[in-house]
Each structure stands twice: as structure tokens, then as C-alpha cells.
């Protein structure tokens, strides 16, 4: 896992890339908490995402959850085959299970998110 | 016979650590008048904000003013079978799961802040609310169980993507023993997990619903109970169920006056407009 990876309290991760974009996914903890995943809706390439607001939805056997954007920006790529192979989210949540790639309005906005240690502390204190 | 529906604290499995403690914090709940689908969906969503403000679970019980088909969030409107179901009013839920034929069911909505122990893993809230009903039915002399139940010929069957919720089985669904065949499901729930709260609405199929014709009618709780010689009072079951949920959460039931839309008419009207919009209903 990249040391530059950051996490939102809503359990999305974001990793800055060398080309100025950032890759977004959901944490292994979130995938496990959601249990069996059955559907996912992704945003369109070119759409806007706003920090803290929903950019997609994911359904498990029991629940539908929103996916929240960690930072604001434009969607430059989506993992289009992910909805057909949702098991990838559980098998490789920080790699092949990436969800979207965005171009952040302000790359410095990632600094306001949690680093891995802080996120792990958050998860440890979450209700189980 | 008419069964006693007073909550039995020994019925069902132990559920949560608060049980047994002296409850002083209220579990606010509403018992709403029958409403159309968009209003029921709006009131359920509104409840999420109430739960966040309260810091503890809140609940509402609702019924439907007319037979209605509700779609799960990801179901395609075009998937509605072109039979009696297609003639019914249609509403799309924010939660997942299969479609529900409403009209003879009781909907129990519980909203929980994510900071509450029930706001973590999805299965926890599901089991707490469902186990509460199993306890109520046990006290009434009716055996019920959570899927997959020992002895149910359908317990080991593979999960299906049946169109209707009551033709699916998920872990924790409430089923009733049947002399032959797969045990009928009488309670299923689905959740919408918001950033700060989880809203779970469960449909308790009280009696057979023939609004869409025979092929879609399923036996309900009262029907199965009657075959076992148990006559259930819906109000008694509802009240005992709420008491069990509150006890499991370590809270004191506190019935709120009026309906949820009396409590916040403008907000619920705004939400109802969205749920009543064809663009929402037919978004998939």
C-alpha cells in the first residue's frame, strides 16, 4: 500500500498518481462490512464529483451504500468492468479493485484526509 | 385461541449487551397512518436525520393505503412482470433487495446512527430487529426462525435473484416452519446506509396479498399462524415487537404523537416529491 494513500472517514481511499490524477477505491474494512456485493453504479467519465458527496452506489445482499468522493474533481476514468466482477473489491481492494480515477481540483486537499495509521485507528474505534 | 403477546424476555436468543439494564433513554417511534409509497419512502429517509440527532435508534411502523409494488434500488423498472404486478402503483426504494408487494404487510423502519453499535455491520441490525420478532412470536406460541433454519428444506438452497423479495432468502430472514416444502418467509428487510445513519425497513407479510393475482400471493404470518391454531392480533404483535426492539437496544419505548409527516411536514413533502417522480422510479 502506498504511503501516500489517504482515507476518508466514510471508508474511501485515494492515492495520488504521477500524472496528477488520483485513484479512488473503498477500503478492505468497508468491503468486509458490506458483506456480499451484488451491484455497483459508477459515475460517467467527465462527470464532476464533490468532496463528501455521493459519486456512486453499491449494493450488498442487505444494503445499498453511497460511495463518497474524498475530494472534489473531474472523473477521468472508471473501472468499467468492476460491476461485473465485484469479487475483485474483496480480493484486491487497493489494486485491481480501484473504482474511479479523478483529477482533483486541489491536489493539496488530500492532505486533509487520514493517513493509514489514523484510518486504522478510526476503524478500531468503529462499532462492530 | 388468542395468544398473549406480552414480550417474553427469555424468548429468542440473547441479542445485545444493553438488555437487562434499566432503560431511561427513549426510543422514539411513530405509528403512522396508511400512506402511499412516496410518502412512506420519504418518511423512512427523514427518519435518518432524526436518528442522527437523537444519537440512538428511532423507529416507525407504517402501512400502505393501497396495494403498491416497491422496487429495490438496483432493480430495473422494465423487470416488472407484465401481469397483475404491472397494474399496481410503483415506487422505488432507496434500499436494495427484491421488489415487495405491499398492502397486507406491516413495515417496520428502524434508523440508527452509524456511531451506535447497531450501525456497524449490516447483519447486526438485521438480526437484532428480526430476532425481536422471533421472540414475540415465541411468546405467542408460534415457532419462527432466522434463515437458514435447521429443518427448513430450503435452508441450503442457493441464493436466487428472484424478482420478489419474499421469493428470495437472505441470512436472517424470518421464516416459519411448514409441514412440507420450503418454509415461508414472513419478514425481510433492506438497508440504506447513509454517511451518518443506517435506515432499515422491514416488511412483515401479515396476510396473503391477492392484489396482483394468485401467482404472486404468498402466505403471511397470520395465515400460517391460523393453521397452527394461533390467532394473532396485528396491533399486539406490532407493540410487542417494538418493545422487544427497544429492550434489545436498552431503550425505553416512547410513542410520538401523530405521524411522521406531522412532525416535519415540509421536509417529508420535499422527499416525497422526489420519490414520486417518474425519473426516480424509472431511473433503472
pLDDT score, position B18: 53
Does residue B15 register a pLDDT over 70?
A: no
Domains in chain A: boundaries: 6-125
- Percentage of residues in chain B with pLDDT exceeding 70? 91
Q: Mutating which of A42, A56, A62, A125 best tests the B interface, going by the most B Cβ atoms within 10 A? A: A62
Residue in B95, B190, B195 closest to A10 by CB? B195
Q: pLDDT per residue over B160-214, tens digit each?
A: 689 999 999 999 999 999 888 889 999 999 999 988 999 999 999 999 999 998 8
Burial B22-41, CB ≥16 within 10 A → b, else e = ebeebbbbbbbeebbbbbbb
Say which of B165, B176, B198, B246 is annotated catalytic.
B165
Looking at this predicted complex, what is its ipTM? 0.79
B165 is catalytic: yes
CATH superfamily ID and name for B26-281: Bira Bifunctional Protein; Domain 2 (3.30.930.10)
From the centroid of its chain, how far is CA B41?
13
pLDDT score, position A18: 95
Q: Mutating which of A50, A61, A122 best tests the B interface, going by the most B Cβ atoms within 10 A? A: A61
Strands B100-102 and B197-205: unpaired
Check A33 against B120: CB less than 8 A apart: yes
- Residue pair A63/A34 in contact (Cβ under 8 Å)? The answer is yes
The Cα A76–Cα B218 span in angstroms is 48
Residue in B116, B171, B193 closest to A63 by CB? B193
Closest B-chain CA to A41? B74
What fold, for A6-125? OB fold (Dihydrolipoamide Acetyltransferase, E2P) (2.40.50)
- pLDDT, average across residues B271-281: 97
Collapse the DSSP code of B145 into the 3-class scheme (helix H, G, I; strand E, B; otherwise coil) and give the result.
strand
Q: Which residues of A touch B119 (CB under 8 A)?
A: 127
Residue in B73, B115, B121 closest to A59 by CB? B73
Does residue B5 register a pLDDT over 60?
A: no
Provide the 8-state DSSP code for B97. S
Residue in A57, A66, A126 closest to B120 by CB? A126
Q: pLDDT per residue over B16-69, tens digit each?
A: 445 555 678 999 999 999 999 999 999 999 999 999 999 999 999 999 999 999
Q: Mutating which of B120, B168, B189, B195 best tests the A interface, going by the most A Cβ atoms within 10 A? A: B195
Greater model confidence, B160 or B246: B246
Domains in chain B: boundaries: 26-281
Instruction: Among B7-16, B251-260, B272-281, name the one with the lowest average pLDDT.
Output: B7-16
Q: Which residues of B touch A59 (CB under 8 A)?
A: 72-74, 96
Amino acid at each position: 500500500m502506498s504511503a501516500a494513500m489517504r482515507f476518508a472517514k466514510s471508508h474511501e481511499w485515494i492515492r495520488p498518481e504521477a500524472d496528477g490524477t488520483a485513484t479512488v477505491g473503498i477500503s478492505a474494512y468497508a468491503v468486509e462490512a458490506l458483506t456480499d456485493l451484488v451491484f455497483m453504479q459508477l459515475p460517467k467519465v467527465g462527470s464532476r464529483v464533490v468532496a463528501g458527496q455521493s459519486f456512486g452506489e453499491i449494493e450488498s445482499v442487505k444494503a445499498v451504500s453511497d460511495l463518497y468522493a474524498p475530494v472534489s474533481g473531474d472523473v477521468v476514468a472508471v473501472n468499467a468492468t468492476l460491476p461485473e466482477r465485484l469479487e475483485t473489491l474483496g480480493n484486491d481492494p487497493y489494486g485491481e479493485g480501484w473504482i474511479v480515477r479523478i483529477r482533483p481540483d486541489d491536489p493539496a486537499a488530500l492532505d486533509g484526509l487520514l493517513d493509514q495509521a489514523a484510518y486504522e485507528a478510526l476503524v478500531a474505534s468503529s462499532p462492530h | 385461541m388468542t395468544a398473549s403477546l406480552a414480550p417474553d424476555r427469555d424468548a429468542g436468543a440473547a441479542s445485545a449487551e444493553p438488555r437487562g439494564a434499566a432503560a431511561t433513554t427513549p426510543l422514539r417511534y411513530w405509528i403512522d397512518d396508511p400512506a402511499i409509497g412516496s410518502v412512506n419512502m420519504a418518511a423512512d429517509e427523514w427518519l435518518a436525520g432524526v436518528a442522527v440527532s437523537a444519537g440512538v435508534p428511532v423507529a416507525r411502523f407504517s402501512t400502505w393505503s393501497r396495494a403498491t409494488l416497491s422496487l429495490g434500488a438496483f432493480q430495473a423498472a422494465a423487470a416488472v412482470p407484465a401481469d397483475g404486478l404491472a397494474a399496481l402503483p410503483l415506487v422505488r426504494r432507496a434500499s436494495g433487495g427484491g421488489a415487495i408487494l405491499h398492502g397486507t404487510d406491516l413495515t417496520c423502519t428502524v434508523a440508527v446512527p452509524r456511531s451506535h453499535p447497531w450501525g456497524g455491520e449490516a447483519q447486526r441490525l438485521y438480526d437484532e430487529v428480526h430476532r425481536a420478532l422471533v421472540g414475540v412470536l415465541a411468546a405467542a406460541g408460534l415457532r419462527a426462525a432466522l434463515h437458514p433454519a435447521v429443518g427448513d428444506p430450503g435452508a441450503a438452497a442457493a441464493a436466487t435473484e428472484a424478482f420478489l423479495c419474499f421469493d428470495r432468502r437472505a441470512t436472517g430472514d424470518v421464516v416459519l416452519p411448514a409441514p412440507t416444502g420450503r418454509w415461508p418467509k414472513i419478514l425481510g428487510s433492506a438497508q440504506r446506509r447513509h454517511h451518518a445513519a443506517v435506515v432499515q425497513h422491514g416488511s412483515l407479510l401479515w396476510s396473503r396479498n391477492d392484489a396482483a393475482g394468485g401467482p404472486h400471493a404468498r402466505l403471511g404470518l397470520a395465515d400460517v399462524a391460523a393453521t397452527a391454531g394461533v390467532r394473532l392480533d396485528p396491533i399486539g404483535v406490532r407493540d410487542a415487537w417494538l418493545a422487544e426492539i427497544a429492550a434489545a437496544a436498552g431503550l425505553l419505548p416512547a410513542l410520538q404523537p401523530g405521524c411522521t409527516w406531522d412532525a416535519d411536514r415540509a421536509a417529508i413533502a420535499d422527499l416525497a416529491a422526489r420519490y414520486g417522480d417518474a425519473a426516480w422510479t424509472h431511473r433503472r
